[in-house]
Chains A and B, each alone.
Chain A
Amino acid sequence: AQSVSQHNHHVILSEAASLELGCNYSYGGTVNLFWYVQYPGQHLQLLLKYFSGDPLVKGIKGFEAEFIKSKFSFNLRKPSVQWSDTAEYFCAVIPSGSARQLTFGSGTQLTVLP
């Protein structure tokens, strides 16, 4: 079945550590890729997205993600995390021709220790 996989369910880091969250998808055709973030008690917000062009995408708050087509991956990175980055992070995909239907991964809870 077509899906989105986030293998890290819970990541705990200290402030200033580097972050990389994995995301893999199983769709064979063209896809639009997203990372959303959900801060405690808040609704989902878009961090960044990839539609086409440069596979290295920069988003808000210093986050970036790299689309590697050969690996079906779209990993999220940040060189130095802050306590305020504590949140749940969701990778999502819109496959081509799916009428904007977002398919989400199961999410990764990031806890940053001060």
Chain B
Amino acid sequence: NAGVTQTPKFQVLKTGQSMTLQCAQDMNHEYMSWYRQDPGMGLRLIHYSVGAGITDQGEVPNGYNVSRSTTEDFPLRLLSAAPSQTSVYFCASSGSGNEWDTQYFGPGTRLTVL
């Protein structure tokens, strides 16, 4: 298993540009989520999904959209990038049963918005 994969690893955008951060998992996990990591603030939840076709907002959803058309993929869209969105973005997934609460994280995408 590849686990949780994210692309790209690095991205530089100009203010106002749009882009999609990709996230995929091959563990058949029902739950997927997006976090942003900023210095001194830990990780904050942006959006999450409990299954295909179901998404919901986390702590910091403004400026981001998500969709979940398949179990495997959970892309994060920035419609109009702003410098405040400069951050490291992590995707995570978790399954069911005894491991329902253990989230597996991807390698992250480092985004800079100029």
Contacts and interface: CB of A to CB of B under 8 A. Distances in A.
Nearest to A44: B105
B31 A100 contact: yes
A23 to B, nearest CB: 11
Interface residues of A, number: 25
**Interface class of chain B by DSSP:** strand
A99 B48 contact: yes
B41 interface: yes
A32 B105 contact: no
Nearest to B98: A51
Given A90-B42, A105-B42, A100 B90 contact: no
Contact of B45 (A4, A9, A49, A101): A101
Contacts of A102: 33, 35, 43, 45, 92, 103
B16 interface: no
Nearest to A90: B42
Interface in B39-58: 40-45, 48, 50, 56, 58
B90 A43 contact: yes
A101 to B, nearest CB: 6
Contact of A100 (B35, B40, B100): B100
Contact of B101 (A32, A42, A107): A32
Interface in B53-106: 56, 58-59, 90, 92, 94, 100-103, 105-106
Contacts of A45: 105
B107 interface: yes
A71 to B, nearest CB: 21
A104 interface: yes
A46 interface: yes
Given A32-B101, A106-B40, A107-B40, 16 more contacts: A6-B42, A36-B105, A43-B108, A44-B90, A49-B101, A90-B42, A90-B43, A99-B48, A100-B31, A100-B33, A100-B50, A100-B94, A100-B101, A101-B33, A102-B45, A106-B41
Listed from nearest, the 9 A-B pairs whose CB atoms lie closest are A104-B42, A44-B105, A104-B43, A106-B42, A43-B105, A43-B107, A32-B101, A107-B42, A100-B31
